[in-house]
Amino acid sequence: MGPVGARHCEGRAVVDITVVEVSPRDGLQNESVVLPTDAKVSLVQRLVDAGTSRIEAVSFAHPKLVPAMADAEEVMAGVPRVDGVSYAGLILNRRGLERALGTGIDEVNVVVGVSDTFSRRNQNVSSDEAMDAAGDVVAAARAEGLFTTLTLATSFGCPFEGEISPDRVLAYAERGAALGPDELCLADTIGVGTPNQVRTFTTRMRTEIGTTPVLRYHFHNTRGTGIANAYAALLDGVTVLDASAGGIGGCPFAPNATGNIATDDLVYLLDRMGLESGIDLERLMPTSAFLAVQLGHEVPALLPRAGNFPPA
């Protein structure tokens, strides 16, 4: 089992690093401006046109809790269906999965907060209860033939509890791996992680859990360490990283959780390192300007301000 991007890759480059584009979901969910459905579909189209193969397009959270994602079904009805492109939806519980089924979703990303306080703020359940619910969702999604990712939120720190013990993260990672997801993602929800933490987590994940499920990382650049953390993951052979066009994003349930790493900046790094992502940087960069107009403010990505190098 694999995402559509792995199953049907006609006309798309074989990649060294898979960039999971999260701007339509994590990018937009924390913005004060709620984009209309057609603008969200236009964003997805731009990402597809730039060569993105995996896109977290929507969230099936309760519309009252995350109003920016209330039109998930309508967005999925409008996204382009292209060979080699896999669409993911964020799922918090079985009800979210029930909404997702029938929308043409290819992947589900199930979230468990390893901090009890964050978990209760985010999902109104403890971390243990969230893990139990995740097991039900992962099993049901796999039965439907969907690719599954389990994301452990606040793995690097919690806005309410502060430091999170790496042992606690690894304990939840072990429990999560036992549920049988295709990927296990460690998320720096509030952007406090540093490269040494990333390398320690990568080593421990492989020695204590193994290489199944595939390890994926979700970094925020809140405190300027996001790209450094991505580089640290690359050094140890991690091949799946989340990023957001323009660097937009954040978590509405975590104070000051701003700034996913920008896809623009990450792809520039990959290109200069000779690593293929399948994403055409020149075609991607105008997306930042599009988002700035739609959202009414400048986006955090650095590359669109300076331009590519060497100049085209």
pLDDT band (50, 70, 90) for residue 12: low
Q: What is the mean pLDDT of residues 11-21?
A: 84
Digit-coded pLDDT (tens) for 44-59: 999 999 999 999 999 9
Q: What is the average pLDDT score of the chain?
A: 93
Q: What pLDDT does 62 receive?
A: 87
Note the pTM of the prediction, 2 decimals: 0.94
Q: What pLDDT does 311 receive?
A: 86
Q: Lowest-pLDDT range, 110-114, 120-124, 228-232, 272-276?
A: 120-124
Q: What percent of the chain has pLDDT over 70?
A: 94
Q: What percent of the chain has pLDDT over 90?
A: 87
Which are the catalytic amino acids? 251
Domains, the chain: 4-301 (3.20.20.70)
pLDDT band (50, 70, 90) for residue 134: very high
Three-state helix/strand/coil letters over the chain = CCCHHHHCCCCCCCCCCEEEECHHHHHCCCCCCCCCHHHHHHHHHHHHHCCCCEEEEEECCCCCCCHHHCCHHHHHHHCCCCCCCEEEEEECCHHHHHHHCCCCCCEEEEEEECCHHHHHHHHCCCHHHHHHHHHHHHHHHHHCCCEEEEEEECCCCECCCECCCHHHHHHHHHHHHHCCCCEEEEECCCCCCCHHHHHHHHHHHHHHCCCCCEEEEECECCCCCHHHHHHHHHHCCCCEEEEEHHHCCECCCCCCCECECEHHHHHHHHHHCCCCCCCCHHHHCHHHHHHHHHHCCCCCCCHHHHCCCCCC
Q: What is the mean pLDDT of residues 165-193?
A: 97
Q: Lowest-pLDDT range, 8-12, 43-47, 72-76, 186-190?
A: 8-12
pLDDT band (50, 70, 90) for residue 2: low
Q: Lowest-pLDDT range, 27-31, 114-118, 162-166?
A: 27-31
Q: What pLDDT does 14 receive?
A: 81
Q: What is the mean pLDDT of residues 10-26?
A: 85
pLDDT higher than threshold 60 for residue 9: no
Q: What is the mean pLDDT of residues 164-193?
A: 97
